[in-house]
């Protein structure tokens, strides 16, 4: 088993209902009840804990609420939409009309999702061109294709070539696989009109042709045409039926003399009865689409062609589920029932747009993270990360008896770990730690924090520290040292080591034996990981300046004010080995 | 070219030519870097206009190595590596014409055949006895297992997925290869005499 690297996860207060109420008045002094709430031990193995524990780097901090904020409890706002490929910033107004994909020339390979590049293809064997020095294709040399330089896919495989090297997206929308131009719904209608005119005026042969071609009830429509047909069909029905109440679709007959308005006024004065009965009769007159002209599309369940094709190709030429879901909707596609299962019909995927988001505190609505709006910059205007406010905890093994399995903690024997707390604040902080004497869970290990209360110096300038008197520094360090450095022993109530803005303490654990529970055949997943829930309380004093509007106004007798932050965290120390 | 006074030097320690010098059969038009590494006891054949980059390793310990015309063998690639099979055969590795073996790629020995116009990508691995067809592309870091057969015009990508290359650009690719060799010949000082 892979040895486990010690870790520290911090619980966001948002997962605990009891702490939510406290946030509103976090500045007011704590009542004894609050401490009682804190006494409830936190179980890192509880199913809920999966959703509330985060490494310190994932957490934000709200300065106004003085509370930790995790990715789950912040409110996000989109600052910018942009294409990850060309880094073009898309105005949010364009999203509604053009969708959430890049509409320039950025495409992903439908086979391997690699980026596609636009290349010109040399027009069919041109000896003069090949003989040219260096053979470089002449500029503007004609049709362009999209190619993938990784899996060698090219748009020629679906028969698509482009006339221009720019605005590929607009060109692609108008092309069907095979290179045929897609007719828009409007063009479809015009074509149909022509056909019907022909039918009226033309000779009988043309009439028959038109009937078999356009007049059939089950003409194949692409998605856009079908939608347009359905829409116009129902809109015309709505206009005919002139429904009461919600007749907004027929704005043209809004007027005092129009029958719709009259009936609406009637129903207003006569109560709901007339209106209701009328409405019922109206719904009866609405009919469903019956022919393709009206938007009816009969599902084609005949798959013999696909099966036939499947016989002739290789398995690798069918598409995977992933490739299929990556396919963007194509308006020129025939009804979804006809969605292909073959790689030969996959279309290039326009890049999905990405966003830059700012984060707000859910309680006070203050912004806690805001990136620079420009796409190309990675800077942040505001970024309140938790690691700038709460101490970092690092774990290091100190004294671990040898185990039968290397990299594990031997059960029933005391192991010692050094916890180093680093203070990021510019104030001296007081840290109080509390752990349950026994870890929760089926295998409970004994835990002893040798020094549960200590002070960490402020995060001062590194150079100040360096220029300080060295004798003073040595006095500060190794306060826990008993005698000379050779016999450095962990002692209860004393810190292990101290530095500029950090303090190390020792934690002793006696892991439980996993064999105690032989009745259950195997330990559950990761049940052998020794995790210690630890309650951390940090207290510090701040200068109360006049500019600090949000802080408690009642206590202005002193220049400084007590602040505190308390949270649960989990220390993952290692795996417990077999005895 | 040799006329330039400031030569680029590798920071790696010089490779010691250990073991016996293999019998070689070079075409007069090949380009082989001074620091290419040729070992083994079986013959190594390199056909016209092929380029062997510095620190490419050709090992004929387990059989003959044949390199076709206008091939490019890049740096730190290995031809004839004795793979897990450890088989000793008459023909260890045979490359067709216009084959490119990119940086760090490895082709194991044991009747391994690479067809004309095929590219073996960066860090890719071709196992002993594999037969790769013509105009194939083995993408970077892909692996062809020992004894596998890859048909003509196949692209092996993304952990062994395969597809057929329908671009039909083999001719163009070969022309590009020829041009590239033209440039490489000017940039790599050739020293075939060292190996003969
Ligand atoms: Zn949260
Ligand atoms: Zn783009
Ligand atoms: Zn691709
Ligand atoms: Zn807040």
What is the residue-wise DSSP string for A379-415? -EEEE-BGGGTS-EEEEEEEE----SSTTEEPTTS-E
Span B103-109, mean pLDDT? 94
Token pair of A218, please? 């089950």
Are A147 and B162 inside 8 Å of each other by CB? no
> Band of the pLDDT at A558, cuts 50, 70, 90?
low
Span A96-106, mean pLDDT? 90
- C-alpha A154/C-alpha A347 separation (Å) is 10
Q: Which has the higher per-residue pLDDT, A92 or A443?
A: A92
- C-alpha A349/C-alpha A108 separation (Å) is 5
Span A438-446, mean pLDDT? 85
- C-alpha A22/C-alpha A30 separation (Å) is 9
Question: What domains can be seen in chain B, in order of their start residue?
Answer: 18-195 (2.160.10.10)
Residue A136 has pLDDT above 80, yes or no: no
**C-beta separation of A210 from A198 below 8 A:** yes
Q: Give the closest residue to A316 by CA, choosing from B27, B4, B151, B14.
A: B151
> Band of the pLDDT at A338, cuts 50, 70, 90?
low
Burial of A555 (0-12, 13-18, 19+ CB in 10 A): middle
Phi, psi of A225 (to 5 degrees): -65, -40
| pLDDT tens, position by position, A509-538 | 999 887 655 555 566 777 788 999 999 999
Could you tell me what percent of chain B has a pLDDT over 90? 67
The rounded mean pLDDT for chain B is 88
Residue B175 has pLDDT above 90, yes or no: yes
> Nearest ligand to the C-alpha of residue A10?
1
Chains A, B: CB contacts under 8 A, how many?
Answer: 37
| The pLDDT value given to residue A121 | 79
Q: Which residues contact A166 (CB under 8 A, 6 or more apart)?
A: A104, A105
Q: Using DSSP, how many helices (H) and how many strands (E) does chain A show?
A: 14, 23
Max Cα–Cα distance, chain B, nearest Å: 48
| pLDDT tens, position by position, A397-406 | 988 888 777 7
Alpha helices in A214-313 (DSSP H): 223-241, 259-269, 272-285, 304-312
**C-beta separation of B58 from B76 below 8 A:** no
How far does B56 lie from chain A, in Å, by closest CA?
A: 24
What is each CA distance from A188 to A17, A199, A206, A409, in whole angstroms?
60, 16, 18, 75
Using the structure block, give the residue that is written with the tokens 């209701």: A276
| pLDDT tens, position by position, B20-35 | 789 999 999 999 999 9
Q: Using DSSP, how many helices (H) and how many strands (E) does chain B show?
A: 1, 21
| The pLDDT value given to residue B3 | 46
> Nearest ligand to the C-alpha of residue A13?
1
Q: Which has the higher per-residue pLDDT, A138 or A352?
A: A352
Residues of A in contact with B117 (CB under 8 A): none
| The pLDDT value given to residue A24 | 43
> How many angstroms does the Cα of residue A162 sit away from the middle of ligand 3?
19
How far does B15 lie from chain A, in Å, by closest CA?
A: 33
What is each CA distance from A448 to A45, A391, A405, A438, in whole angstroms?
20, 20, 24, 9
Could you tell me what percent of chain A has a pLDDT over 90? 33
| The pLDDT value given to residue A45 | 82
Using the structure block, give the residue that is written with the tokens 């082989």: B32
| The pLDDT value given to residue A266 | 66
What is each CA distance from A443 to A9, A260, A449, A572, B23, in whole angstroms?
20, 76, 19, 15, 69
Predicted-complex ipTM score: 0.84
A455: three-class secondary structure by DSSP? strand
Residues of B in contact with A343 (CB under 8 A): 163
Chain mean position to CA A292: 41
| The pLDDT value given to residue A137 | 47
> How many angstroms does the Cα of residue A156 sit away from the middle of ligand 3?
13
The size of chain A, in residues, is 579
**C-beta separation of B128 from B109 below 8 A:** yes
Span A179-189, mean pLDDT? 76
Span A283-302, mean pLDDT? 76
Token pair of A93, please? 């107004």
Interface residues of chain A, partner chain B, Cβ below 8 Å? 111-112, 122, 130, 134-135, 147, 150-154, 156-157, 314, 316-317, 343
**C-beta separation of B42 from B63 below 8 A:** yes
| The pLDDT value given to residue A471 | 47
Q: Which residues contact B183 (CB under 8 A, 6 or more apart)?
A: none
**C-beta separation of A56 from A334 below 8 A:** no
DSSP letter string, A188-236: HHHHHHHHHHHHHHS-HHHHHHHHHHTSSTT---BHHHHHHHHHHHHHH
> Band of the pLDDT at A275, cuts 50, 70, 90?
very low
Q: Which has the higher per-residue pLDDT, B121 or A490?
A: B121
Best residue of A125, A149, A152, A317 to probe chain B, by most B CBs closer than 10 Å: A152
Q: Which has the higher per-residue pLDDT, A225 or B73?
A: B73
């Amino acid at each position: 088993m892979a040895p486990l690297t010690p870790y520290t996860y911090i619980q966001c207060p948002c997962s605990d209902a009891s702490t939510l109420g406290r946030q509103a008045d976090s500045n007011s002094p704590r009542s004894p009840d609050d401490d009682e709430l804190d006494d409830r031990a936190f179980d890192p193995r509880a199913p809920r804990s999966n959703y509330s524990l985060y490494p310190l780097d994932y957490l934000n901090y709200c300065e106004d609420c003085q509370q930790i904020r995790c990715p789950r409890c912040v409110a996000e706002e989109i600052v910018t939409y942009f294409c990850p490929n060309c880094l073009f910033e898309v105005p949010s107004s364009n999203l509604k009309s053009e969708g959430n994909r890049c509409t320039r020339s950025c495409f992903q390979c439908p086979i391997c999702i690699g980026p596609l590049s636009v290349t010109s293809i040399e027009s069919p064997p041109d000896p003069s061109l090949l003989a040219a020095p260096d053979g470089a294709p002449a500029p503007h040399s004609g049709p362009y294709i999209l190619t993938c330089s990784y899996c060698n896919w090219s748009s020629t495989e679906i028969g698509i070539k482009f006339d221009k090297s720019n605005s590929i997206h607009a060109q692609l929308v108008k092309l069907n696989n095979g290179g045929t131009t897609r007719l828009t719904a409007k063009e479809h209608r015009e074509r149909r009109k022509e056909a019907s005119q022909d039918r009226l005026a033309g000779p009988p042969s043309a009439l028959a042709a038109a009937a078999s071609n356009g007049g059939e009830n089950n003409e194949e429509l692409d998605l856009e045409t079908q939608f347009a047909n359905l829409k116009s069909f129902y809109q015309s029905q709505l206009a005919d039926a002139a429904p009461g109440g919600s007749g907004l679709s027929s704005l043209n007959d809004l007027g005092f003399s129009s029958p719709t308005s009259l009936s609406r006024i009637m129903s207003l004065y006569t109560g709901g009865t007339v209106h209701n009965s009328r409405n019922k009769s109206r719904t009866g007159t609405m009919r469903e689409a019956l022919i393709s002209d009206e938007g009816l599309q009969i599902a084609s369940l005949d798959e013999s062609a696909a099966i036939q094709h499947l016989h002739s190709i290789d398995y690798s030429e069918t598409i995977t589920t992933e490739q299929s879901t990556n396919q963007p909707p194509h308006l020129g596609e025939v009804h979804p029932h006809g969605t292909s299962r073959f790689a030969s019909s996959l279309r290039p995927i326009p890049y999905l747009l990405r966003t830059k988001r700012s984060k707000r505190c859910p309680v006070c609505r203050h912004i806690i993270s805001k990136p620079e709006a420009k796409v190309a910059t990675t800077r942040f205007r505001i970024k309140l990360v938790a690691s700038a406010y709460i101490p970092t905890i690092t774990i290091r093994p100190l004294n671990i008896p040898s185990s039968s399995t290397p990299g594990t903690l031997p059960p029933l024997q005391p192991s010692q770990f050094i916890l180093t707390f680093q203070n990021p604040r510019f104030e001296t902080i007081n840290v109080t730690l509390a752990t349950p004497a026994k870890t929760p869970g089926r295998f409970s290990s004994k835990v002893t924090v040798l020094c549960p209360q200590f002070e960490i110096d402020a995060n001062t300038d590194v150079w100040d520290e360096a220029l300080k008197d060295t004798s003073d520094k040595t006095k500060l360090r190794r306060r826990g040292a008993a005698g000379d450095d050779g016999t450095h022993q962990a002692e209860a109530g004393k810190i292990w080591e101290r530095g500029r803005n950090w303090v190390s303490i020792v934690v002793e654990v006696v892991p439980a034996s996993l064999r105690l529970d032989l009745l259950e055949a195997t330990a559950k997943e990761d049940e052998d990981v020794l995790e210690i829930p630890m309650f951390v309380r940090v207290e510090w004093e701040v200068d109360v300046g006049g500019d600090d509007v949000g802080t408690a106004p009642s206590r202005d007798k002193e220049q400084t004010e007590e602040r505190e932050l308390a949270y649960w965290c989990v220390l993952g120390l290692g795996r417990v080995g077999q005895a | 070219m040799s006329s330039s006074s400031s030569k680029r030097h590798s920071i790696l320690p010089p490779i010691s030519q250990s073991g016996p010098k293999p019998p070689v059969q070079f075409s007069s038009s090949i380009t082989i870097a001074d620091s290419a590494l040729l070992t083994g006891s079986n013959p190594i054949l390199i056909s016209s206009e092929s380029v062997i980059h510095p620190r490419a390793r050709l090992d004929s310990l387990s059989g003959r190595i044949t390199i076709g015309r206008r091939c490019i063998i890049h740096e730190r690639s290995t031809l004839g590596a004795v793979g897990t099979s450890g088989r000793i055969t008459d023909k260890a590795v045979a490359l067709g014409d216009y084959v490119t073996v990119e940086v760090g790629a490895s082709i194991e020995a044991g009747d391994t055949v690479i067809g004309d116009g095929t590219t073996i990508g960066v860090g890719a691995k071709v196992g002993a006895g594999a037969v790769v067809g013509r105009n194939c592309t083995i993408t970077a870091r892909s692996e062809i297992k020992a004894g596998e057969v890859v048909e003509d015009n196949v692209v092996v990508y993304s952990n062994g997925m395969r597809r057929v290359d329908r671009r039909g650009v083999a001719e163009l690719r070969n022309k590009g290869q020829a041009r590239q060799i033209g440039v490489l010949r000017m940039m790599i000082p050739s020293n075939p005499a060292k190996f003969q």
